[in-house]
């Protein structure tokens, strides 16, 4: 029944490592997003994919690389992790042509870089 799911829920790793977060939605939506929520709870968009095409790429370091193998999946790979990458990462999805186009969020992945 889960609409937007993310794995893992928690991720603790050392500086310099490479890690991936996976996101899947079963809502049939055509657009997916990654948001970052920092320690002060501030939420900011990172990327958006529409039909597997990158359409939003905010000023995010190129150590972050999203990959969308199909409309239902949007993964986030992070290279050379830094302390400042510690945050909660939320995946979301929406149907662009739906009125209102509200975004439904996954449960979040808490990334801690030591």
Q: How far is the CB of 13 from another protein (least distance, A)?
A: 19
Measured in degrees and rounded to the nearest 5, phi and psi for residue 13 equal -150, 170
Measure the CA–CA gap between 57 and 102, rounded to whole angstroms: 19
Tell me, by CB under 8 A, how many residues bind another protein. Answer: 27
27 binds another protein, rule: CB under 8 A: no
45 binds another protein, rule: CB under 8 A: yes
Question: Which structure tokens are listed for 48?
Answer: 């958006």
The CA dihedral of 11, 54, 105, 77, to the nearest 10 degrees, is: 0
38 binds another protein, rule: CB under 8 A: no
85 three-state secondary structure: helix
Site for another protein in 55-84 (CB under 8 A): 55-56
- Provide the CB-side half-sphere exposure for 87 (13 A, CA): 21
7 binds another protein, rule: CB under 8 A: no
Give contact residues for another protein (rule: CB under 8 A): 31, 33, 35, 40-45, 48, 50, 55-56, 88, 90, 92, 94, 96, 100-105, 107-108, 110
């Amino acid at each position: 029944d889960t609409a937007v799911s993310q794995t893992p829920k928690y991720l603790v790793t050392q500086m310099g490592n490479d890690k991936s977060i996976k996101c899947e939605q079963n809502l049939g939506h055509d657009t997916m997003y990654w948001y970052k929520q920092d320690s002060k709870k501030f939420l900011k968009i990172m990327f958006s994919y529409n039909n597997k095409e990158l359409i939003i790429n905010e000023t995010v370091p190129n150590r972050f690389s999203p990959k969308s193998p199909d409309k239902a999946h949007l993964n986030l790979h992070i290279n050379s992790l830094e302390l400042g990458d510690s945050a909660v990462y939320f995946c979301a999805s929406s149907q662009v042509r739906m009125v209102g186009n509200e975004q439904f969020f996954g449960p979040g992945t808490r990334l801690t870089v030591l």
